[in-house]
């Protein structure tokens, strides 16, 4: 097959560098459109693409394209660098594991081995099917207190729910519904004040690509309102379906007065591509949490990797 005369490697490099330029610039205008903000989620991939294209352009003697690729590396690389951080645990502190199980996942044993090894104080799970909810009874020796939200079934999904498991008894629980998406986007538990008072919320926000973007926006706004209802330390854990590079993530932190646990990029999805994937799972904490650190757990049999957080609570 003979390729058209206009289609050669030089032309391909021009198209790729031009496309990278559009995606890079567009991601900085996420405040104007949700789909532009989704472009911002891929800063790590843009930085890597810029490096590869810079080398390819030099090898093919495409000087203008090489200069542009290098120029595109600067904003993308800097954005990634500023989110790089130390992943050390906060020693002697509260430990929480957050894990998106994936509704198709039936490999329970590896996950339970991981949870027993980590021996966290609290576990937050998302996409827990009824099979998993029943199986979690086998962890009652470690986590006697288990609370699950209502079932949710998306398009082509098995019904699943958010769950929270804990070693200590809580004094209150709650389920939070979104009027826009008509689903429970979060559940929470509140522990007694003598511990000290602590609220842990498990969240699973909808993906703006697979669902109307207005749904995630409404759930973000509802979550910000929810967090403000609680006094004392608050930890919000789960699958947010957005990276720290996005405008919508920054808006959530600002409106809810939260900050992300330190620990760097912590890419969790898709699990087979990490650390080159996206950081969609997070721990967000209120100002009354002194220190918060997170790290990524092992690859299990989910499309997400779990995250492990350690927290020093204000007393």
Tell me the C-alpha distance between 20 and 47, whole Å.
10
- What pLDDT, on a 0 to 100 scale, did the predictor assign at position 6? 47
- What pLDDT, on a 0 to 100 scale, did the predictor assign at position 156? 79
Sequence-ordered alpha helix ranges (H) in the chain? 9-26, 34-39, 43-59, 63-82, 108-118, 130-135, 213-227, 247-256
What DSSP state is assigned to residue 183?
Answer: E
Label residue 177 exposed, middle or buried (CB < 10 Å: 0-12, 13-18, 19+).
middle
- What pLDDT, on a 0 to 100 scale, did the predictor assign at position 263? 87
- What pLDDT, on a 0 to 100 scale, did the predictor assign at position 89? 67
Query: What CATH fold (topology level) applies to the domain 94-313?
Result: Deoxyribonuclease I; Chain A (3.60.10)
**What 3-state DSSP class applies to 153?**
coil
| DSSP secondary structure, 28-80, as one string | GGTTT-HHHHHHGGGHHHHHHHHHHHHHHHHHTT-HHHHHHHHHHHHHHHHHH
- What pLDDT, on a 0 to 100 scale, did the predictor assign at position 167? 96
Per-residue pLDDT of the chain (315 residues; tens, 9 = 90+): 454 544 588 889 999 999 999 999 999 999 999 999 999 999 999 999 999 999 999 999 999 999 999 999 999 999 998 887 666 667 668 999 999 999 999 999 999 999 999 999 999 999 999 999 999 999 999 999 999 999 998 877 889 999 999 999 999 999 999 999 999 999 999 998 655 689 999 999 999 999 999 999 999 999 999 999 998 899 999 999 999 999 999 999 999 999 999 988 899 999 998 888 999 999 999 999 989 999 999 999 999 999 999 999 865
Q: In what order do the strands lie in the sheet with 259-260?
A: 172-178, 183-191, 198-204, 234-239, 281-285, 259-260
- What pLDDT, on a 0 to 100 scale, did the predictor assign at position 155? 79
Residue whose structure tokens are 């009027």: 179
What the block records as the tokens of 50 is 């810029």
173-187 pLDDT tens trace: 999 999 999 999 999
Per domain, the residue ranges of the chain are: 9-82, 94-313
157-168 pLDDT tens trace: 889 999 999 999
């Amino acid at each position: 097959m003979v390729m058209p005369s206009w289609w050669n490697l030089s032309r391909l490099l021009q198209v790729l560098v031009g496309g990278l330029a559009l995606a890079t610039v567009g991601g900085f205008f996420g405040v104007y459109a949700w789909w532009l903000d989704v472009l911002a989620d891929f800063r790590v991939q843009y930085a890597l693409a810029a490096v590869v294209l810079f080398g390819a352009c030099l090898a093919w003697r495409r000087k203008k394209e090489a200069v542009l690729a290098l120029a595109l590396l600067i904003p993308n690389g800097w954005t990634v660098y500023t989110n790089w951080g130390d992943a050390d645990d906060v020693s002697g502190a509260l430990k929480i594991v957050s894990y998106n199980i994936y509704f198709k996942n039936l490999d329970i044993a590896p996950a339970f081995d991981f949870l027993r090894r980590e021996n966290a104080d609290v576990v937050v799970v998302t996409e827990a099917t009824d099979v998993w909810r029943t199986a979690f009874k086998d962890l009652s020796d470690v986590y006697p207190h288990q609370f699950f939200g209502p079932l949710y079934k998306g398009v082509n999904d098995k019904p699943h729910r958010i769950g929270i498991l804990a070693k200590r008894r809580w004094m209150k629980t709650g389920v939070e519904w979104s009027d826009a998406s008509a689903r429970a986007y979060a559940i929470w538990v509140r522990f007694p004040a003598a511990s000290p008072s602590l609220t842990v919320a498990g969240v699973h926000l909808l993906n703006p690509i697979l669902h109307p973007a207005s749904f995630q926006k409404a759930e973000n706004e509802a979550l910000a309102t929810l967090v403000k209802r609680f006094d004392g330390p608050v930890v919000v854990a789960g699958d947010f379906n957005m990276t720290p590079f996005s405008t919508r993530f920054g808006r959530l932190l600002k409106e809810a007065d939260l900050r992300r646990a330190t620990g760097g990029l912590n890419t969790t999805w898709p699990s087979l591509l990490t650390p080159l994937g996206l950081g969609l799972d997070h721990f967000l904490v209120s100002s009354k949490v002194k220190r918060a650190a997170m790290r990524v757990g092992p690859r299990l049999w989910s499309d997400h990797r779990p995250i492990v957080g350690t927290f020093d609570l204000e007393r």
